[in-house]
Amino acid sequence: MHTRQATHNAVTTVPRGRIVDLTHVLLPGKEQYTLEIARRNERHGPEGDIMSIVYMWSHVGTHVEAPLHFLAEGGDTASIPVERLMGPAIVLDFRHTQTNEPISLDEIRAAGDVEVGDRVLIMTGRQELYRTPQSHDRPYLTEDAVRWLVEDRHINCVGTDSSGFEVRGVSHYPNHRLLNNAGVPVLECLTNLTELRGQRVYLIALPWPVAGLDACPVRAIAIEPEE
């Protein structure tokens, strides 16, 4: 297992612009993937320090999956370079797709000009299904589409406002294998992609750098740069 914290000399400049929060608010006791909060100590009166004990699954809420999620020797959340989840992104609109419908390579290419090194956000319009029995009702990316994003476009990350990307009805998990072997972090359960005014944004979605952790909730935001 890799638990290396990468160091980089590059300096990233965050653009000024309109900020859109892409993160679901977490509700303890009501999440599909468990989140529980208890008080370690109590406050007596209107003031006084408290601390909480938090128990949660790593995939609760809007979260990022590290390669360790699928690969026994994959990197953990501490090994994800910050710049993979912080930089220029493109939003591809697939709200017209149906549940279990494939999104092909040709459709990905037609949806927008994916640049080399982009962070790609797939908008399916499923944010309203979050925290419902239909939360996993979604389209999926074909293996060819993911291979092109990884091997031709060398994307930094891929995200969606649904619960995932994997090909439906298969047991060999081709998209997990392609993305995780390439070290591409995966963002799931984003929200408010429909609130974005343009196709290109600046994405920030940072996890806790925890050794041995396969996935982690993030606070994801999109910045629509000023013209």
List alpha helices for 129-224, DSSP H. 143-147, 174-181
Residues of the chain with pLDDT under 70: 1-11
- Residue 188 and residue 184: Cα distance in Å, rounded? 13
Please determine, looking at this structure, whether the domain spanning 18-24+59-225 carries the CATH number 3.50.30.50.
yes
Q: Cα-Cα-Cα-Cα dihedral of 8, 10, 15, 18, to 10°?
A: -10
Instruction: Give the pLDDT score at 145.
Output: 98
CB distance 183 to 155 below 8 Å:
no
Instruction: Give the pLDDT score at 7.
Output: 43
pTM of the model: 0.92
Residues 6 or more apart from 147 whose CB is under 8 A from it? 178
Token readout for 178 is 């392609």
Instruction: Give the pLDDT score at 227.
Output: 72
- Residue 203 and residue 158: Cα distance in Å, rounded? 11
- Residue the block writes with tokens 């809420």: 61
Query: E strands along 74-124, which residues?
Result: 86-93, 102-103, 119-123
Q: How many CB atoms lie within 10 A of CB 4?
A: 10
